[in-house]
Structure 1
């Protein structure tokens, strides 16, 4: 059984990642923690609890840690993910309660209690992870592995010309995390899913139609560019209905910024890397983050050739297989949606 520690800022692509992992057979969520990012930490936690219940995982402990970045004010992104973080979807109010524990303490307790067993997946700004590393510097040895969605190296940023969103929200945390991994063995280094490869994950209306078919929905799920913005799904399948409403908002956002009627599902790809279900290749590099420059804050830089003279501190994903990834997504999430009805 694969066991995960997740840190999320549930947004639309985090939501898809959560649903995908919940749909995999023999997966355990040791804990899911909320970082402020796409929306504030309280809304992240509500979204996460509701999604886990939607997927039949009501007993997962969900906790909040930091409520703001380490050194700068919080910037959220309602224009990208909607005011509640999940697009046009309106999830039922969660029945479960938020854990009273601090996310950072929870991560450390779980990692210490199960050394070498838990894979960490971080699809949010690195605030909570940086705080956990401050408190437990041996966390890299306690975790089975770490996968980070963040950064942009030889690719245009999606927040500034050079910066990716998660890193831009808390560049100081990202800088601390990469510094903490300097000098570690290569097999202990985090796998970094940056925009260079996550933006190849272009989910399109056709994938939603196939997903609904795999779920056994009674009517086709047709989310089309000529339809009115904000049109709601009428699917008889509850999982398909909520995913469709969330992703339609994402399609509309990408079209507004001249990227086409599609959704870059960054966090789903990172989830598949963490789960070992999606094809990818990676190269070691030394990564650093510009934290304080007004022009370049949040910019990630990778030294693949050792020009800085420092050892690698990350493994950067350099290639992936979108066709294989979406076949896997449709099959796996379709099965869960069929089971949930």
Structure 2
């Protein structure tokens, strides 16, 4: 079989010609998940039709609270559904050391005004796909638990979606949870394996453009937020603030005059401190906002097609995403794997969208 194919993912407008694509978001909010939601809320070409809360960075009830609180801050009305409180087969592990005790670092959100849907997150996936057949973009920035459960309810779900983007895995690259495993996949390896296997079986070979887009650490760690870039975001929002520095006291709170910028800065400070303590510098990798941007514009990233699977039983390698670049398994490619991105292009777009949007809230 031939080697990896450098590919472009098809882009199609909605069936009704609308420029605002319906998007369903599955998150374990999380600092960078919150940044991803802010990006989507700020995007005129996106219409969030539902949010699934997944246990991951923090327990599922805290994820629900974070999602509702962020929507309240932004004055947005989006259905939020509670997902499973545990992975398919393993005990839940959470990451308060990375994201803070409530998932958003030092940030404090307003009291949640909204209520959760009376159906769970797996049902929400299916409902959104049936309501927008062939148009819905699916985005997962947490463990794949809810999506796996949704595909059990509706095996045709892959055929109902226009596109699926997954932030997860690490391809020919070190892990951030174990030496070889990325967090989202490591939390629930069984759901990752199930989604990648069932998705490709549902499509077969007739629509290769509908392979999921998978963005691993090999790609997303190129998107490094810094205090300088964060200051550009505040300026674009017209918000007075004090630039952050590694010399600041731990836990210093944002002085931003804009409410959204203040939340994002307080969240990012915790994230900066975590990455600094890991020896990576006073910066933060924005894995999930990149996935949100790619969900709306796949051309932001360069891809290679490959067959991927998740190791489930290895003593040292459980949760590892393995890419068969050369066809050793004799199976057709089941994913577009992100392999190249221009961080400057991404950050320019992020600031151009989120800055003016924040200004409307302040």
Shorter-chain TM band? over 0.9
Structure 1's 212 and 31: CA in aligned 2 closer, same or farther, altered over 3 A? Answer: same
Match of 1:80 among 77, 98, 112: 98
Q: Contact 2:72 / 2:110 at 8 angstroms: preserved in 1? A: no
Alignment of 1:286-325 (within 5 A): 286-325=307-346
Which 4+ residue blocks in structure 1 deviate beyond 3 angstroms? none
2:65 to 27, 31, 46: 46
Q: 1:63 to 1:181 in 2, by over 3 A?
A: same
The answer to whether the Cα contact below 8 Å between 2:134 and 2:161 also exists between their aligned partners in 1 is: yes
Per-residue CA shift, 1:265-302, capped at 9, x if unaligned? 00000000001176111111100101122311110000
Match of 1:215 among 237, 241, 248: 237
Contact 1:158 1:164 in 2 (8 A): yes
Q: Does 1:204 align with 2:226?
A: yes
Give the alignment's TM-score, normalised by structure 1. 0.97
What is the TM-score of this pair, normalised by structure 2?
0.92
| Bigger shift: residues 103-112 or 9-18 | 103-112
Residue 2 of structure 1 pairs with residue 2 of structure 2 = no
Structural mapping, 1:251-270, within 5 Å: 251-270=272-291
Deviations 1:63-106 (A, max 9, x none): 01211000010000000000000001011111111112111112
Alignment of 1:30 with 2:40, yes or no, is no
TM-superposed CA distance for 1:113, in Å, is 2.2
Using the alignment, how far apart are the partners of 2:59 and 2:138 within structure 1? Answer: 21
Structure 1: gaps of 5 or more residues: none
For 2:113, the equivalent position in structure 1 comes to 95
Corresponding position of 1:61: 79
Contact 2:166 2:214 (C-alpha < 8 Å) held by counterparts: yes
- What is the distance in 1 between the residues matched to 2:328 and 2:315? 25
* CA offsets 1:236-284 (integer angstroms, 9 cap, x no match): 1101100000000000000000000000000000000001176111111
Distance 1:338 1:278 in 2: 28
In the alignment, is the contact (CA less than 8 A) between 1:35 and 1:125 conserved in 2?
yes
5+ residue gaps, structure 2, are 1-19
| In 2: Cα distance, 1:186 partner to 1:316 partner | 13
**Matched residues in 2 for 1:251 and 1:332: separation?**
22
What is the RMSD computed on CA atoms of the aligned residues?
Answer: 1.1
Partner of 1:160: 178
